[in-house]
A and B are shown apart, each in its own frame.
Chain A
Amino acid sequence: MYDQIDQKDLSFVGHDVPRIDAIEKLTGEAAYVSDMILPGMLHAAVKRSPHARARIVRIDTSKAMALPGVRSIVIGDELDYRIGLYVVDKYILAREEVRHYGEAVAAVAADTLIIAKEAVRLIEVEYEPLPAVLAPLDAINIDDPAKPGKAPLVHPKLGEYDHVRNAFTPQPGTNVANYTKFRKGDIDKGFAEADWIVERQYTNPSVQHVPMETHVAIVQWQAGDRITIWTSAQSPYAVRNLFCHSFKIPHKNVRVIIPYIGGGFGGKAGIGIEPLVACLSRKAGGRPVKLQATREEEFSLLPCRSALTYRIKTGVRKDGKIVAQKMTMYWDSGAYADYAVNVTRASGYSCTGPYEIPNAWVDAYTIYTNKPYGTAYRGFGHVEFSWGLERQMDLAARTIGMDPLEFRRLNTLKPGSVTLTGERITEHTGNVTKCIEEAARGIHYGKLTKEEAARQKKTGWKIGKSVAGLQKAPAMPPFTGTAIFLKMNEDGTATANVSLTDMGQGTYTSLAQMLAERLRMPVENIKIAFECDTDRDPYDWQTVASKGLLIAGNAAILAADDLLANAYDMAGQILRALPCDLDHDGKGVFVRHNHEKKISFAEMAAGYAYPDGNGIGGPLVGVGRYIAQGLTNLDKATGQGNPALDWTYGAHGLVAEINEETGEYNILKVCSVFDVGKAINPAEVRGQAVGGMIQGLGTACCEGYIYDAEGRLLNPSFTDNKIFTAMDLPEVIESAVVETAQLDGPFGARGVGEHSMIGVCAALGNAILQVTGAELTHMPIRFEDVWRALQTKQSPDAWIVKSPVKHL
């Protein structure tokens, strides 16, 4: 829904409006589930597997149950419920077999957390360790992944599991949870046209989301199977729906409440610990039970970002045109499919990047291994493949002796270009070429500034510059929808109820701005209710995929229009005017040709009352409903179809200095540019640009799971799984927007929540490559890796190491 309105005519949209939740967050008054204590509440703790794969021979809970204060203990054998977003493959607690290090095998609810932890210690579990399959390439028949291989099966009963059939294809008898393929053009003909072919293998490890608030839920399972769930989750309706499917309980019986959320980043997108806590509450006679993951549990009890190993083969002509590209991706799902199968699908249809490649071939596999499982993570696969793809662009350009920036400009998607899935790009889709050019301008690409030249001379550290393009569309069902309830309050302020959550990304402030713009009242007069409650708030699919602003933004506009239509209808009667002659300001409705004739929103809020007491109209509300349109499922044989609600394009320019003797480097500057269609709140766009960029650089520089040879996680805490801090910010950060209006976006806007993470990792790799020749194909890039690459010109992969680890 795009009305072409000049920025000068917009009062609230396009302005730097402060966060509507700033006060409670800055004062610490915002209450999170972590803060909540309910009357009679019990505390839970989890017994976890010290093995990557083992048969559970025996679990003895008798000593734990005898501990005073213990109220309930559950083990896998008594919980015959399976959970799964796309492939229903996971029990609430491991049954018969544990499939990854850290997997839950039993749980306790007790009067205090100290008692619960002591009870967990007293639970005896006898395991028979089994050979674990750890590396995805070992887990499959590499010659034909659809056929059985030699590795043990993580899920021998894969063929019996229910799964979403129109999107996913598990391969029973193998460790392949899903196989997605894309075919465009004629790949053999394309490579035959190529003058040069560049082929490389790239890898990324698993990483942790690291939300400030770890996963936490309180569940109360009351008589008559009435269940209330308070949880730190991104998507109240997804939690309710998946919960009800597992337990076969009517949706009306289950109420999910989500107050403020201390960060999600994809790790709280689906369902997590809620079913387990529910079972503890049921067994404890309906007392509310709280489970909060420790930071260490975040790393292996709860899911991570999937690791990825992939090969890219790119064919280019001497004139710089990419003519063919073949990509084979092996996603390491870990023990359960969760979101990883959809990461495989969604990053698959995007993995030619913001470039037009006439002949493209993609095989993408999601592979089960005996490791903590992968889920959604900001970027949804794009950070991972962009790492290799954008490295590949630089290598291809260098191969033919062309400047990498020029090479990118030549190959970008432009109006008329066709994407991997057959979608035709238009002038309204967005302008990635301009993003790339602006990012290049921002870092003074291709030369050193006077200051940079002086710095290089003084330090001896070489300064490199690079620009990487990026793009992403929301990964969502083609029929994704949402609704918003808007209520006029008795004083003329307005309150909106949504089930899209705001976990820090700032969408609620943007929604308030759009409502303010439409209602013509100050943003301060509008409240977006922070606590989401499935009993009261209307449906929203999930808060994921950078689609919230577009879909909920449109719903907000429609809700405002609906409320105004109701107000005009009522005001027409009161003012004795036709609605077509009415207009409104922030206070109320008036007759356009006679401003003296007016009636305030406050007077109509509860329905209008005449002086004699007669009432008309009824309470003033508006409902906005919106659903994505024109999207389709993808053809399973070719991957052709229309999956993209919108494409947000962007680019990162990066400047780094590298010590060629030691491999140390500093990131001096990052310039980010995104085609957001319309920046509803430029300050929030910058917040996303900086936040995502620093999160991306963390994964580029230092983050990553490290396992020992038995599949035990060696770094499940901040001691050895470092994330970037404020001190690690680049010395200079710039962000800018390009605004090519999205015709079905609210005020022309697109989402930008994930995009700032994509591309920046490859930009760092390319800057290092540019000045040192060190070819690094594994993320993260540790100083030692650069040092080794400088010496050997070979990339090391030391992420499976052999050292002893303490048992859990």
Chain B
Amino acid sequence: MLCEFDYLEPTTLADVLEILGQGDAGVRILAGGTDLLVNIRAGLITPKALVNIKKTAGLDTFAFHPDRGLEIGPAVTINQLITNTEIARRYPLLEQCAEMLASYQLRNRATVIGNIVNASPSADMAPALLCYRAKLTLTSKRGSRKVGIAEFFTGVKKTVLAADEIVEKITIPASEADGKGGYAKLKRIKGHDLGIVGVALHKKQDYIRIAVSASAPTPILAPDFQAKDSPDYIAEQVLAAIKPIDDIRSSREYRRFMASVFVKRLLEEVRA
């Protein structure tokens, strides 16, 4: 039981942009639908039209180019990402974050870009993309622009994406491939759950990058660290970058404590 809306299935990106170009906030893009349909059912959104982009040519781009890096289109699901062993090997953090997202059934539908566009503070794909300094290509009838993932989020469920724009793809630089890292996520159960706090760590030869989910109005990227920085220093800097709250899932105090524990655990793992 939802509500009444028009359902559109454009086959070309140009058609998608034309529909979005009318600038109607009631027109929503449907990819996985795992957040959208839940919000419609809850009455939080009453769309006039849903635009299914799963059948739109070119939006299922999912390939690694030695020069351009990894490109992920908006129709690519989380499970597609996980089951691509070559990409999972080159970008281990992507796979680790993806494995922590919801449940297998939801990962069959949920998309990588949908998780980002939904802009939840606890978005599980965000820490990996922040660590990899992913760039988003935002496209509309007016043209395309590139935005760094760190600049994409502006608040809880808020982004810089305009009503007439679509995230046409995410690009992860080739230079970020083949690092070591991991994602530690505190949950209430081992089954699917939103993160209480999540820490992702990405280590290359000469730098360490850490991103944190569910600890501020947006997912947070800490400043880059040098490989030789001490765990205490790194944890301290990460804690300075986050602003967790008290809510029914956890206290602010425990979130901060666990963020620092996770930073140290992950550092130990990549240095082992």
Contact residues of A with B, CB < 8 Å? 113-114, 117, 661-662, 701-702, 706, 714-715, 719-720, 722-728, 782-784, 787, 798, 801, 803
Contacts and interface: CB of A to CB of B under 8 A. Distances in A.
A369 B254 CA distance: 32
Contacts of B103: 725
B191 A714 contact: no
Given A784-B254, A787-B254, A787-B257, A722 B188 contact: yes
Given A114-B3, A722-B193, 4 more contacts: A662-B258, A787-B254, A798-B251, A803-B248
A701 B193 CA distance: 14
Nearest to A780: B188
Given A114-B3, A787-B254, A727 B247 contact: no
Given A715-B248, A784-B250, A787-B254, A724 B191 contact: yes
Nearest to B251: A784
How many chain B residues sit at the interface, stated as a range, is 20 to 34
A661 B257 CA distance: 10
A117 B190 contact: no
Contacts of B272: none
B248 A701 contact: no
A803 B1 CA distance: 30
A251 to B, nearest CB: 35
A726 B190 CA distance: 9
B229 interface: no
A725 B105 CA distance: 13
Contact of A801 (B1, B192, B193, B248): B248
B240 interface: no
B13 interface: no
Interface in B176-229: 186, 188-194
B75 to A, nearest CB: 26
Contacts of B247: 803
Contact of B192 (A113, A725, A783, A798): A725
Contact of A783 (B4, B186, B193, B194): B186
9 contacts: A114-B4, A662-B257, A706-B248, A720-B249, A722-B193, A723-B189, A782-B188, A801-B248, A803-B248
B189 A701 contact: yes
Contacts of A787: 254, 257
Q: Which of B103, B186, B188 has the most CB of A within 10 A?
A: B188
Given A706-B248, A720-B249, A726 B191 contact: yes
Contacts of B251: 784, 798
B248 A727 contact: no
Contacts of A113: 1
Interface string B1-15: 101100000000000
B261 interface: yes
In the A-B complex, the 5 residue pairs with the closest CB atoms: A725-B191, A727-B191, A784-B254, A727-B190, A702-B188
Given A113-B1, A661-B261, A784-B254, A724 B248 contact: no
A42 to B, nearest CB: 14
Nearest to B104: A727
Contact of A702 (B189, B257, B261): B189
A122 to B, nearest CB: 14
Nearest to B44: A806
A492 B257 CA distance: 70
Contacts of A782: 188
A18 B250 CA distance: 44
A662 B1 contact: no
Contacts of A722: 188-189, 191, 193
A23 to B, nearest CB: 24
Q: Which of B103, B191, B247 has the most CB of A within 10 A?
A: B191
Interface in B41-92: none
Nearest to A723: B189
Q: Which of A723, A726, A727 has the most CB of B within 10 A?
A: A727
B1 A114 contact: yes
A428 B227 CA distance: 70
A725 B189 contact: yes
B16 to A, nearest CB: 28
B271 to A, nearest CB: 17
A728 B248 contact: no
Contacts of A801: 248
A117 B257 CA distance: 44
Nearest to B41: A294
A635 to B, nearest CB: 44
Contact of A117 (B1, B194, B254, B258): B1
Contacts of A114: 1, 3-4
A706 B188 CA distance: 15
A701 B1 CA distance: 33
Contacts of A783: 186, 254
Contacts of A798: 251
Given A117-B1, A720-B249, A801-B248, A728 B186 contact: no
B248 A714 contact: yes
Contacts of B189: 701-702, 722-725, 727-728
Contacts of B193: 722
A662 B250 CA distance: 13
Interface string B230-247: 000000000000000011
Contact of A728 (B4, B190, B194, B257): B190
Given A113-B1, A714-B248, A719 B188 contact: no
B186 A725 contact: no
Interface string B152-196: 000000000000000000000000000000000010111111100
A117 B251 CA distance: 36
Contacts of A728: 189-191
Contacts of B188: 701-702, 722, 782
Interface string B251-268: 100100110010000000
A117 to B, nearest CB: 7
Interface in B104-125: none
A411 to B, nearest CB: 35
A787 B193 CA distance: 20
A720 B250 contact: no
A647 B207 CA distance: 65
A500 B163 CA distance: 57
A727 B105 CA distance: 14
Contacts of A803: 246-248
Contacts of B194: 719
Contacts of B246: 803
A114 B2 CA distance: 8
A277 B200 CA distance: 51
A182 to B, nearest CB: 37
Contacts of B1: 113-114, 117
Contacts of B3: 114
Nearest to A782: B188
B99 to A, nearest CB: 12
Contacts of A117: 1
B217 to A, nearest CB: 16
A702 B246 CA distance: 17
Nearest to A701: B189
B196 to A, nearest CB: 8
Contacts of A719: 194
Contacts of B258: 662
Contacts of A701: 188-189
Given A715-B248, A784-B250, A801-B248, A662 B191 contact: no
A84 to B, nearest CB: 32
A101 to B, nearest CB: 15
A784 B249 CA distance: 10
A661 B186 CA distance: 14
B190 A725 contact: yes
A714 B248 CA distance: 8
A783 B3 CA distance: 40
A299 to B, nearest CB: 14
A696 to B, nearest CB: 14
A193 to B, nearest CB: 44
A715 B258 CA distance: 23
B72 to A, nearest CB: 27
